[in-house]
Chain A
Amino acid sequence: MSIDHPAPPPPSGPVPYDKPLALALLADMLRIRRLEEKAAELYGAGKIRGFLHLYIGEEAVGVGVLHALQPEDNIVATYREHAHALVRGMDMGVLMAEMFGKREGCARGRGGSMHLFDRTTRLFGGNAIVGGGLPLAVGLALAAKMSSEGSLPQGNLLSGAVGGAVKQRITACFFGDGAVAEGAFHEAMNLAALWQLPVLFCCENNLYAMGTALERYESQTDLCVKAASYNMPARSVDGMDVVAVHRAAEDAAAEVRSGAGPLFLELRTYRFRAHSMFDAELYREKAEIDEWKSCGPIHTYSGRLKAEGKLTEEEFLALDAAAGAEVARAVDFAEAGTWEPVADLLKDVHTAVGAAP
């Protein structure tokens, strides 16, 4: 039987990193995988409710891009953003507590899985309106550009100087292939290119928007062509290969940071799990999923590291066990968490008087 969306050949080739970085990338992919496997289980147990969108299969994208960014950069993500929050540095327990709806969660249980926010790591959501984060990213980049060029007061957390020296803060905006069909995508691409803003557009192209495959909803399926039409550089990357993603993102981030304007990365990937927990997956063949699994980002990468002698089986098992232990601690933390009192229901509709925005 022929497959609608054949997988690329499994990633191969040398891993051009020293051991600490090589293992850090692997460790983060494992942390995401184990966290989300547990989240799916806890969903079944009724601990996590609402919508839950898993990133399983796409780990190389978030890990590769986020490891290429600086702490002062801004991140805008979608509802499929556990990986982004985690790799940016959100404590896994805090993340899990948010999914449980507990007060100890990053948004005090008001956001849930789709709305992770973290002021300290500059994660501006967790936006569950498809395409909704793109204009926001443009504005964040505009603020960063005007702050770095102008005479704006420095120092407050959100507009402050980047490490003292004038250095350009960039905004990485993650969105799915489905967002490309929204008007918000086109308006944001145009604005970012017109004003030469430091935005790194990261399209997580997993070939489906829920159950609708790319070629069933786009007249032009080459997404780079769309970006290029806005006069911005656009590159397509194998999103199953963490090395390819990381290298492409490092180059792209450096270009954007240098003031060359926005850049579009298409990260070609695949989601191994259902769209959310309410998806019977009637729209794709199991053979297609299996083929993509064979180039899964974790085992192909660890295989390459082993072949190069950068990783032993013991080390792999130790990383995996560490990820599992972190997940177990996160679950304990979330379980031990408390419920926000209903008396606080109306709190924070508006910013408290006297608080610095």
Chain B
Amino acid sequence: MSRHLNYREALREALREALTVDPRVFLMGEDVGRYGGTYAVTKGLLDEFGPERVRDTPLSELGFTGAGIGAALGGLRPVVEVMTVNFSLLALDQIVNTAALYHYMSGGQFSVPLVIRMATGAGRQVGAQHSHSFEGWYAGLPGIKVLAPATIEDARHMLAPALADPDPVLIFEHTVLYNLEGELADDCTVDICSAKVRRPGGDASIITYGGSLQKSLQAAEILAGEGISAEVVDLRVLRPLDDATIMASVAKCRRAVVVDEGWRSVSIAAEVMARIVEQVFYELDAPVSRVCTEEVPMPYARHMEDAALPQAGKIVAAVKGLFA
């Protein structure tokens, strides 16, 4: 059995479930309560669970993220929402200098079971200060896990294992996905350690995540019409990367394109390519290629924003380029 719902509703169900089953769980962030969440993810939860557990905060990203770390150390299971990844830079110190390293630095004495959710990505013409994809920066940090749910299933089911994890987990929700609709099977379970093949194929691997998954699937469809069978791999977990799934796909297809909405320099794409070269270089029939965001601050005008971002057409061209 399955049912139809959207990504936002799936996230909300996951939060509602977490609040219901575990009294230690509470939500905290700017406008998560009365306003209903910037992207309406937490809408209705204040009425259901009250202001102690759906906690509106001042505009203090550093303060409330740090308070989330403290509450986690104190035995609670906070889910902190940061409006967008851009604003998370104001909380960077607490994430990088405290959450990520407390377990190690304390010689294993303290763990920080904290979940931080935030919106990321471009595509809605909200300009350069609201559109960037910094998840790749976070994915470079030892001590945390980084998730990028790109499907209804992951939106619904990644939160529970993230909360069960004893260490900090960051969840990046691409803003164009909130209205994504789909079917959710009643009996599905997900993990937070593996990449998944979203469309099997045999001629080329398209390795992607988050907001670029739909574009990659479109590209695979177009390529199929032209006789190229592309396999689409959804990374899902940006740290730690699931090398086994990536390498199995690349070794099978012998050609690979990495699609990443981050800027290309020092990106997730760069990391995945480096690992492919390290691990399956001799399986390759062509150099690894990538499609990333152009290295500009995100422009506002629609056509310019489109031009800056990875698109299905660019992915198709990159895959074809591997057969040139």
Contact = CB atoms under 8 A, between A and B. Distances in A.
Interface of A: 74, 105-111, 115, 117-119, 124-125, 127, 129, 132, 134-144, 146-147, 150-153, 156, 158-160, 171, 183-184, 187-188, 190-191, 194, 347-352, 355-357
How many interface residues does chain B have, given as a range? 35 or more
A117 B110 contact: yes
Interface in B78-108: 78, 93-94, 97-98, 102-108
Given A129-B98, A152-B75, A351-B167, A119 B63 contact: no
B166 interface: yes
B66 interface: yes
A355 B108 CA distance: 10
B274 to A, nearest CB: 20
A338 B104 CA distance: 18
Given A132-B93, A136-B66, A357-B111, A125 B106 contact: yes
B143 A350 contact: yes
Contacts of A156: 75
A125 B112 CA distance: 13
The 8 A-B residue pairs whose C-beta atoms are closest, nearest first, are A139-B70, A159-B75, A135-B66, A143-B74, A187-B63, A107-B107, A357-B111, A108-B107
B105 A159 contact: no
B111 A124 contact: no
A348 B103 contact: yes
A341 to B, nearest CB: 14
A155 to B, nearest CB: 10
B70 to A, nearest CB: 2
B26 interface: yes
A105 B166 CA distance: 24
A191 B76 contact: no
8 contacts: A106-B107, A107-B105, A119-B110, A125-B105, A136-B73, A187-B64, A191-B58, A350-B103
Contacts of B52: 146, 150
B166 A351 contact: yes
Nearest to A347: B108
B143 A139 contact: no
B121 interface: no
B68 A139 contact: yes
Nearest to A110: B107
Contacts of A107: 105-107, 109
Contacts of A356: 166
A159 B74 contact: yes
Nearest to A134: B66
B74 A188 contact: no
B189 interface: no
